[in-house]
Amino acid sequence: MGKKSNQTPRILEDQRVDEADELARIAQEAIEAAAQERQEALDDAEIEAQIALPASVVKANYKRKYRDRARAAGIRSKAAKRSAWDWLAETLAGEILTEKAKLKVDAFVAILEANGIEAPLTRWPSQTPGWEGRLRMTGRLCLQRIVAEAGVLLIPTEDGFEELVPPAEWVAKHLN
C-alpha cells in the first residue's frame, strides 16, 4: 500500500484561512463605509444647522446651492458642501483645512502673504465667533482676484514656493 497524503487537510486549512481573510476584508470595508456614511450624516446635519443660522454672512440659498452642487457631483466632503468648490477652493482645501474641515490659520495666512496680501490678521482682526470662516471667505475672495490676474497661485514650501497654474477657464471667469 502507498503512503497516505497529508495534502488534503493542508489544502482545506489554506482555503479556510483565505476565506477568513476575505471575510475580514469585507467586514473592514463595511465598517469603513458605515463610518464614512455616519460622518457624512454628521457633516450634513452641521451644514443644515448652518443654513438655519439667521445672522450668517452667507445667505441660506447660497449654502443650499453649495451643498446641492457637491451632492450632485458625488463629492462627500464637508468643505465641498460649504464652498463653490472650484479650482481655488479645492486647491486651498488641500493646503489649509484639517481632516475635519477646520481652518489651519497659519497655513492660510502664509498662502495669503506669499501671494501679496500683507498682514491678513491685522487687516481682518475680528475674532468674534465665526472669525475663521470670515477670514477664509474674505481672504479667498482677495486671493481669487490676485491669482486670476497673476495666473499663478504661490504655495509656501520649505524651499521657497510651489507655483500652481490655474485652469484657463477659471482665470477667465475670475478676471475683473
The span from the CA of 35 to the CA of 73, in Å, is 21
Average pLDDT, the chain: 81
- pLDDT for 109 equals 94
pLDDT of residue 168: 94
Cell (9 digits) for 145: 482676484
| Domain coordinates in residue numbering, the chain | 1-82, 86-176
**Helix, strand, or coil here: 76?**
coil
Q: Which of 44, 48, 103, 49 is nearest to 78 (CA)?
A: 44
Rounded distance, CA 166 to CA 88, Å?
A: 8
Q: Is the pLDDT of residue 64 over 90?
A: no
What pLDDT does residue 152 have?
A: 96
Query: Sign of torsion, CA 132 135 140 143?
Result: negative
Averaged pLDDT, 87-108: 87
Helix intervals (H) in the chain: 7-52, 60-72, 78-81, 87-96, 105-114, 120-123, 131-150, 168-174
**What single-letter amino acid sits at 121?**
L
Percent of the chain with pLDDT over 70: 78
